[in-house]
Structure 1
Amino acid sequence: GARLHYAQQWTLIQNYRQETDINIQPPSPCSLLHGSVHFQVWSDRCLKKILDLSALNKHGRVYEDAQFGCLAWSTCESRLLYVAEGKRSIGESYASASSPSAGEPRDKSVYWEDWGEGLTSKSVPVLCVADVAKGTVTVLQGVPSHVSPGQGLWAHDGESVFFVGWWHEPFRLGLRFCSNRRSALFCLDLEGNCECLSGDTSSVSSPRLSPDGRYLVYLEGQVFGPHSQCLSMQQYDLETRKISVLVDVVNRPKKDEFAGLYEALPPRCWASDSQRVVFSSARRNWRQTVQSFSLHSAEKFGSWKLLTIQNDLMVVHCSHLNEAPRGPHSQFFAEWNVTTAVLVKLGFAVLMGKIVDFLLGSYPHTLVSTVRILFLALCFVVNYRGSTGFGQDSILSLAGNIGSQDVKDVQRAVLTALADQTAEKLLTLDPDKVVVMGGSHGGFLACHLIGQFPDFYKACAVRNPVINAATLLGTSDIVDWRYSSVGLQYSYDQLPTPEALTTMLQKSPITYAPQIKAPVLLMLGGKDRRVSPYQGLELYRSLKSRGSPVRLLLFAEDAHSLARVDTQADCFLNVVLWFQQHLYLH
């Protein structure tokens, strides 16, 4: 039942005498990746060397995640930089003020903090260098004790490395999907001398070195507040040691203009002249590739995502709502979505574009969490105000207005869709067969909708929904958002007050539970660190006590994303059957 990881190799060969002559070799067969801890070094399609990291016993598990992980060759291609879990003996427990004295036995039951949802196996990352020729591994010393290093890359001289360091004092907050954690850009030489290159009061990520080794660009944002913010791109000149703003935060983008930076830079993003940076970013409902600050027409060609660039050859992932991608993809834009595609196969139509554009007007909508509205023949995706792609002002507008602004946006979108199809005399949408589904904050919205409009929605399916923000306060790995979302300031030493808890409760869907009439399907992850499964259980018990139809699926080994293959299939089938049952579509 566990998720399996596969690797597949694609080879692109460019004829440099004819720049337009690009040959894409057939892909290699998919190979299953096992959890063995070793490096394989290949050259000219031949295996040259194997480094058995387990036998060397210098560190724990190698990090493969995008948050901390890296795998970077030095310029001379003899050394490899990566991040791994440090041996517990090299650091102190963050549950106590000091480590045991030398020779004193460690208590195995002492609590070790991790980095939250999706990063539960990450606690004490360390930077490591593997020397391929010598077959040795070195754990780099000199990283400041108050930060956790990651996203490392080599300097041009090969004698020092750059990395992002995240503050883990006084305690760790969840990092996954959170670009608002205090962090800074550091330079560490191989002798253990470390220097902070950026300011230390912001959030920093995605450092990328220019091909000539002179410039280092990175993304910078605010600490706390919304987790997905509009970011600026900073440039550090290694010769003059000066920082300049390359791309600033966009507060209110005008129509058809660049809307700001919202996602990590590709590992390779520099043009060969070291003068241009190429990246992808959201603009309204689309993801676009930006080069020299010019925009490709996503509406015509679909959503574009830059995967990599080398020798000015770009590899771009492109997909549309009705066209499957030719590469990997993750978060939802106006691009291929497998769930939507299967719903279409089952007889649901997908409606995007006109209604969404009509709704936006001067009211930017959001993509923090997606709520999917399913009609008898319609899957409608609403980008409510408060998310990426529409400027920083739109993002900030949601803080303090959850449960109201976002709920009204979704309801207005649904009513507009129904009104339009009535005006155009389309008979495919039945206003008496409207259902709603969503996950996380989308689940929060779905439960608000069936509570605030109890006669409108005929069924509901939610994944790990936020039900009661007040009771969630002490169990979430992102406690800061519980304050920010309701318009309150957060600090690490924050203690709950009656006023704060009252505000959180008032903005939660649990207050509307007595009004809910729609049958509710709950899908919960037993190991969810972001939204405790007890949130869904709280609604389940409330509905059961009132005799309201409710069904709960608990996936004990799954986390917030419910990402295991068997779980995804189980959830999708149950959602479809739930809607068919309560819309009498059998």
Structure 2
Amino acid sequence: MTALDTFLELSKIPSFAAAQFQSKDALRVTSRFPDFDRKTYRTSIHTYVVTNDKVFSTFSPDTPNIVVSTSSPSGKRLAAFREVAENGSTKRFVEIWTENRLEASVEVTKTHGAFYTDDIFSQISFSPSEDALVYTAEAKTDDDKDADSLDRFNFVPPLGEAYPGKKLPGLYIVKWSTGKTVVKALQLADSSLGPILFTQPAFAKDTQLIAIGYKYTLDHRLLGVKYCPNRLAGVYSLSLPEISVESEGDVLCSLSSWSSDETSCRSPRILRLNDGSSRLVYLANPVGGPHASCSSLQVVDIETRKTVASVGIVEDPQPADFPGIYAISLPPQPFLQIQGKPYLISTTNWRSRTTVVLVSLEDGSVLDLTPDDGAHLSWVALGTDGESQVVCSRSSLKSPSELLLGRATAVKEVQWKTIVEPSLSAELKHRLSALELSIVPIDGHFPVETIVLKDKEAHLPLPCVSVIHGGPHGSCPTGFFASTTALALEGYVISCPNYTGSVGFGDKYIRKLLGYIGSLDVEECVQSVRQLIQTGIAAAGPGQQFLVGGSHGGFILGHLLGQYPDMFSAASIRNPVMHLGDIAGTDIPDWYFEECGIPYTPTTLLTPELYQKLYHMSPISHVDKTRDDVPILLAIGEKDARVVNSQGLAYYHALKGRGKDIRMITLKEDSHPLDSVEALRVVYKATSELFAEKRKH
């Protein structure tokens, strides 16, 4: 089996994208995997019926024209959102199914543009009576206005990275009764309160929605939202009038704000209690500052609007203590009832793992539901049945994802049952079993640690690949990642350092990096390499040390290659930040200032003095020290709206002009993550071949 064959087999293992309970014993699970022959991602849906001792399943291959579907809270209905290509255009439909019967269907092509299906702007919510549905879609533009009107030429800020061509998310409601279905846009009755871009709607009751609303900055931007839970996003209540299937026109809503302008909110979830009261639960971060910081979780009584419980920001936890919540979103159905009391589950980073925490909605206390048992597995919460059952996936760099069902009989008593195990060839299963996974603290740099993956039977020391995560306020958890595992199976020891600034270690250490990027993070990555060399795990010298990283990870790689030119033998860099002074075109100009310790406001300008400071903090300032005989692979996504292509191009031309060994490959249809099916294969193949060529055997 070639190195590429190994990677492709690992990549084809399905990951679990979503799971919903349709009844106490029936679970609807959506899986996703790359199809390298068709160069696209595929999805499949399994329904699992779980009894005490058996699991029965049915399988449904993907239906390409259904972009998203979801079950109602009762499990009796299924909403399907369909996009059909027809005669060069796209038609859109919303369908409501009851068992095998189409209860309602409406074409929405003329009402709005594309559906939103992501976990930032999208949310599909049935009304409590299950005769209405609210969702998010792209609003129609003003192109159809009078040709003489100048309004249709007004600038509308784009949504940025991950949302090409999208600018105006809006809320739409489908209402149905016997024989008739209508779809209507939701608009503010008082237009002077806007513009507000409403997203993530949730029915609190039949006449009330809770939604997240985004505002433009004073300089008329919508700073990039993807991976950035620190934007001007508030919680709003929208009161709905009586909606009839016979009425015409948009639905006009009255509005009230439920959060402060200093708080960025997301992921609203509604809990209905047995006594008839309801709770709103949502995540919140401070507006501005680092793009990802420790989140708080707020629990609000919907009738009184008073906070009844919360989980606060954790600054400086001890190694074994809860480090705070670090989650972009909550599961679609996150609630449990255990011994008559309400709880919520959430995935969060806990140091170098992701785990599932159980949060009391009465007092905000937190329990690690899936603590590390020594196998260093990372867990992801997919959903609950609203009572005592939870469904999760878990994996590690040596064990691909499996699906588990948990039944909680008490707060600290959960019985787990494996529903799905990964399907692996005998050869691959044997090779994975030979891998050893550990988490190594970096001496003198608390709380920094690195994840180490290697063949447990190999003769040490081994050539080492350091995989550097981006952000910088991201992380490298222990969960399965095909390219990392594939490199380990090629005989490298893998080191994934979680340097200062990584999430999961306390808010203090996120903010500690601000003003010190290019020095503190670089120093800690170097120290992780040195420690593995000193302990005899990794080899030193020519052909022994290699680098992989993208975005801010690519920024660190550029510094490592320039500041420590004799330490590394080759590098694979993806969509890197190489010049902090090059901010034109990015959807996150604030990042370049805040990460350098400079507060950002709508009036901030890049002065000559600031430009000089940012230049000297940038990898581009070290290009002259980069070695001629250290080859660099640079991969660029041509549709990247986060780190503009000029960053990588400037680095490429600077090194080429100095006679350095650099190769650039470009992916025409890729954006910042470089995660298209074609990019996965091409970048891994080029990286593997480069390292194999330079590796000393």
Q: 2:611 aligns with which of 492, 501, 520?
A: 501
The 5 A counterparts of 1:406-555 are 406-421=521-536, 429=539, 431-432=541-542, 433-471=544-582, 473-517=583-627, 518-555=630-667
- The change in CA–CA distance for 1:118 and 1:436 in structure 2 (over 3 A counts) is same
- The change in CA–CA distance for 1:564 and 1:539 in structure 2 (over 3 A counts) is same
In structure 2, the residue matched to 1:162 is 210
Residues 263 and 285 in structure 2, CA contact (< 8 A), matched pair in contact too:
yes
Residues 5 and 33 in structure 1, CA contact (< 8 A), matched pair in contact too:
no
Could you tell me which runs of 5 or more consecutive residues in structure 1 were left unpaired when the two chains were aligned: 92-99, 329-335
TM-score using structure 1 length: 0.87
In structure 1, the residue matched to 2:358 is 291
Amino acid at match of 1:486: C
- The change in CA–CA distance for 1:103 and 1:195 in structure 2 (over 3 A counts) is farther
Report the identity percentage.
Answer: 27
Question: 1-side partners of 2:383 and 2:615: how far apart?
Answer: 45
SS for the counterpart of 1:450 is: helix
- The change in CA–CA distance for 1:24 and 1:209 in structure 2 (over 3 A counts) is farther
Question: 1-side partners of 2:430 and 2:686: how far apart?
Answer: 16
The 5 A counterparts of 1:567-578 are 567-578=679-690
Q: Is 1:146 equivalent to 2:192 in the alignment? A: no
In structure 1, the residue matched to 2:270 is 209
Question: 2-side partners of 1:347 and 1:509: how far apart?
Answer: 37
Question: 2-side partners of 1:305 and 1:222: how far apart?
Answer: 25
The 5 A counterparts of 1:175-324 are 175-191=225-241, 192-212=253-273, 213-263=277-327, 264-272=329-337, 273=340, 275-292=342-359, 293-295=366-368, 296-300=370-374, 302-310=377-385, 311-324=387-400
Question: 2-side partners of 1:457 and 1:370: how far apart?
Answer: 22
SS for the counterpart of 2:315 is: coil
Residues 441 and 448 in structure 2, CA contact (< 8 A), matched pair in contact too:
no
- The change in CA–CA distance for 1:381 and 1:343 in structure 2 (over 3 A counts) is farther
Q: 1:25 aligns with which of 25, 39, 57?
A: 57
Amino acid at match of 2:202: L
In structure 2, the residue matched to 1:331 is none
Deviation, 1:363, is: 4.5
Question: 2-side partners of 1:231 and 1:326: how far apart?
Answer: 28
SS for the counterpart of 1:368 is: coil
Residues 348 and 377 in structure 1, CA contact (< 8 A), matched pair in contact too:
no
Deviation, 1:377, is: 2.3
Question: 1-side partners of 2:294 and 2:314: how far apart?
Answer: 7
Amino acid at match of 2:135: Y
SS for the counterpart of 1:353 is: strand
Residues 528 and 559 in structure 1, CA contact (< 8 A), matched pair in contact too:
yes
Deviation, 1:573, is: 0.3
Could you tell me which runs of 5 or more consecutive residues in structure 2 were left unpaired when the two chains were aligned: 1-35, 67-82, 85-91, 242-252, 360-365, 405-420, 451-468, 477-483
Question: 1-side partners of 2:341 and 2:209: how far apart?
Answer: 19
Alpha carbon RMSD of aligned pairs, Å? Answer: 3.1
- Number of corresponding residues: 553
Question: 1-side partners of 2:112 and 2:581: how far apart?
Answer: 40
Deviation, 1:369, is: 4.9
Residues 475 and 503 in structure 2, CA contact (< 8 A), matched pair in contact too:
no
Deviation, 1:14, is: 5.7
Deviation, 1:241, is: 2.0
The 5 A counterparts of 1:41-60 are 41-54=96-109, 57-60=110-113
Deviation, 1:475, is: 2.1
Question: 1-side partners of 2:227 and 2:674: how far apart?
Answer: 15
Question: 1-side partners of 2:198 and 2:63: how far apart?
Answer: 31
TM-score using structure 2 length: 0.74
- The change in CA–CA distance for 1:349 and 1:14 in structure 2 (over 3 A counts) is closer
- The change in CA–CA distance for 1:78 and 1:113 in structure 2 (over 3 A counts) is same
Q: Is 1:11 equivalent to 2:47 in the alignment? A: yes
Residues 348 and 378 in structure 1, CA contact (< 8 A), matched pair in contact too:
no
Amino acid at match of 1:445: I
Identify the structure with the greater strand proportion.
2
Question: 2-side partners of 1:349 and 1:580: how far apart?
Answer: 21
Deviation, 1:104, is: 3.7
Relative to structure 2, which stretch is displaced further, 6-15 or 78-87?
Answer: 6-15
Amino acid at match of 1:493: T
Residues 228 and 292 in structure 2, CA contact (< 8 A), matched pair in contact too:
yes
